[in-house]
């Protein structure tokens, strides 16, 4: 047994004031993300945890990479449609993202509905990826399915490398993008004595954002 009860940090870096928050949560997120991208202590500040639940309500969570935020605050990422998360999002197109930036003592939660990106956007991003990553998308299908060995996976990759030698790698129709359409944003700033700042935006039926403070 590992006892972790005495391990804790005291957050003292900053405070979060309601009056300082941008009325547009997407703009507030872009400001925080920009600061995280400039922080040398964060290896992949665009990484996030994605929580989903399938049609039976079985939850699952994993780490992905954010690949875009548009002016409306829609957050995009890419995966295999036949993966565990791809199937869950098809069955139950709702999810939550969590970004955690420990050196900034900040966290952002984003909840909303999820929809597939169009074919053009998925194809455009696919061809921006390194060629080896394009081949890996083909080699690792169906994503999340069992495979006999690492050697079998490497053999599939080698065969595809030979198959597409000297030509563009086509985007497979089982791979593409999703975007989360936010309905709720929560911005968290660590504070001393676990008296953290939590400010949440929720969308009203009229489409405007309402901001309030939550108990830590």
pLDDT band at 76 (very low <50, low <70, confident <90, very high): very high
Taking only the tens place, the pLDDT of each residue in 117-142 is 999 999 999 999 999 999 999 998 87
The verdict on residue 202 lying in a domain is yes
Does the annotation place 5 within a ligand binding site? no
Query: Has 143 been labeled as part of a binding site?
Result: yes
Task: Kindly state whether residues 86 and 183 are assigned to the same domain.
Answer: yes
pLDDT, tens only, 155-202: 999 999 999 999 999 999 999 999 999 999 999 999 999 999 999 999
| Per-residue three-class SS string for 136-188 | HHHHCCCCCCCCCCHHHHHHHHHHHHHHCCCCCCCCCCCEEEEEEEEEEEEEE
Query: Per the annotation, does 128 bind a ligand?
Result: no
Query: HSE-up of 118 (CA within 13 Å, CB side)?
Result: 3
123 and 148 in a single domain? The answer is no
Classify residue 165: in a domain, yes or no. Answer: yes
In what helix (H) or strand (E) does residue 209 lie, and over which residues does it extend?
A: strand 209-214
**Does the annotation flag 201 for ligand binding?**
no
* Residue 81, marked binder: no
Q: CATH number, domain at 37?
A: 2.30.110.10
Burial class (CB in 10 A: 0-12, 13-18, 19+), 192: exposed
State the number of CA atoms in the 13 A half-sphere of 203 facing the CB.
17
64 is in an annotated binding site: yes
Q: Which domain holds residue 161?
A: 130-170
Question: Are 153 and 65 found together in one domain?
Answer: no
Judge if 58 and 116 occupy the same domain: yes
Please classify residue 210 by burial: count the beta carbons closer than 10 Å to its beta carbon, then call 0-12 exposed, 13-18 middle and 19+ buried: exposed
């Amino acid at each position: 047994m590992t006892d972790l009860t005495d391990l804790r940090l005291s957050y003292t870096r900053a405070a979060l004031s309601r009056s300082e928050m941008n009325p547009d949560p997407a703009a507030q997120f872009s400001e925080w993300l920009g600061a995280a991208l400039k922080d040398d202590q964060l290896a992949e500040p665009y990484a996030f945890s994605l929580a989903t639940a399938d049609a039976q309500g079985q939850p699952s969570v994993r780490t992905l990479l954010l690949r875009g935020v548009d002016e409306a605050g829609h957050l995009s990422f890419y995966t295999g449609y036949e993966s565990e998360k791809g199937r869950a999002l098809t069955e139950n197109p709702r999810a939550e993202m969590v970004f955690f930036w420990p050196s900034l003592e900040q966290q952002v939660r984003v909840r909303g509905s999820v929809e597939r990106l169009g074919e053009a956007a998925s194809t455009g991003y696919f061809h921006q990826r390194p060629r080896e990553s394009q081949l890996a998308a083909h080699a690792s299908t169906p994503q999340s399915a069992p495979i006999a060995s690492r050697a079998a996976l490497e053999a599939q990759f080698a065969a595809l490398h030979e198959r597409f030698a000297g030509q563009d790698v086509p985007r497979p129709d089982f791979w593409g993008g999703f975007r989360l359409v936010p309905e709720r944003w929560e911005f968290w700033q660590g504070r001393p004595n676990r008296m953290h700042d939590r400010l949440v935006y929720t969308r009203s039926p009229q489409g405007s954002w309402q901001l309030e403070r939550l108990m830590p």
